[in-house]
Copies of this chain bind each other. A is one copy, B any other.
Amino acid sequence: MAWRFALMIDPVSDDDTRTDVADTFTAIDPAAPALTVGELSTQRGDGIFESIGVVDGHPQEVEAHLQRLAHSARICDLPAPNLAQWRAAVLFAAEHCGAGESVIKLILSRGVEHGPAPTAWVTAAEASDFTRARTDGIRVVTLDRGYTLDVPARAPWLLLGAKTLSYAVNMAALREARSRGADDAVFITSDGFVLEAPTATLIVRHGDTFLTPAPNAGILHGTTQLSLFEYLQAQGHTAGYSVIAAADLADADAAWLVSSVRLAAPIVAIDDVAVPHDVVLTAEMNRYLLSPRD
């Protein structure tokens, strides 16, 4: 991975109305030490993040990502991020992204242990080449997420709707998928409903209707999925939310995992069983997702 840029942010409060936040940014060398060992992001995975796709220097769907950052902060009892400050940081980082595809990450950590304030930073790096996933597709396995569909609403301390830095389980699920000869995983509730992938949102197609699992406290609202639904609706398709039984997954006419950087990856096999996919529509989707979107 090639770094492009990194920036430490001195977070100002949500109600700070200053218009020039440049003096709250400090550009840093992304390969040089910048965080102390007391960081709670590193000791406890205690913080939140966003990953924003960047195409030829244009950061995609910035507002949706900022809104989700604020949403995660509320769930995690972190100070509300000043979105104007974060927006400026994203645009500043995007200026360093150059041509091609990049990824900008926003990280808001609870700060240093017993410290007075959160720590925050933004990085920009060259994106991996996902051409193969986008064109040849991905094989997925279904993995039990361990809880039933009703758990997130009744146990908010499980933080199931927040994009926290505690992603060890998501990473373990990806390793499990690879150990089974697959590329990715789809999490299923213990009572048999589809949730999401460790780092992506699932979309299934039945005829002319595109569905994604109903976002509840247990599923992240997918920024790329939201954008893609707008596109599909503009093309005359129906797009919406539904409770999707895992047993119905294999019956779909097509299915994708969509995310901010890999974009739309068509699913070609579920638990080692080949499923239909649509080469032409997938190419259209990715053409749209690679076009500048706000």
Contact = CB atoms under 8 A, between A and B. Distances in A.
Given A46-B168, A76-B168, A168-B166, A35 B33 contact: yes
B173 A168 contact: no
A188 to B, nearest CB: 10
Interface string A157-185: 11110101111111111011000000000
A38 B3 contact: yes
A193 interface: no
A247 interface: no
A147 B171 CA distance: 19
By size class, the interface of chain A is: 35 or more
A190 B3 contact: no
A40 B170 CA distance: 13
Nearest to A105: B43
B107 A167 contact: no
A32 interface: yes
Interface stretch (A148-156, A233-241, A270-278): A148-156
A34 B45 CA distance: 17
A60 B113 CA distance: 23
B43 A39 contact: no
A42 B48 CA distance: 10
A43 B147 contact: no
A223 interface: no
Interface string A50-85: 000000000000000000000000001100000000
Interface in A89-116: 105, 107, 109-110, 113-114
A207 interface: no
Contacts of A43: 41, 49, 105, 107, 165, 167
14 contacts: A1-B113, A30-B38, A33-B33, A33-B35, A37-B123, A40-B171, A42-B47, A143-B157, A144-B151, A146-B152, A147-B151, A158-B172, A159-B169, A165-B168
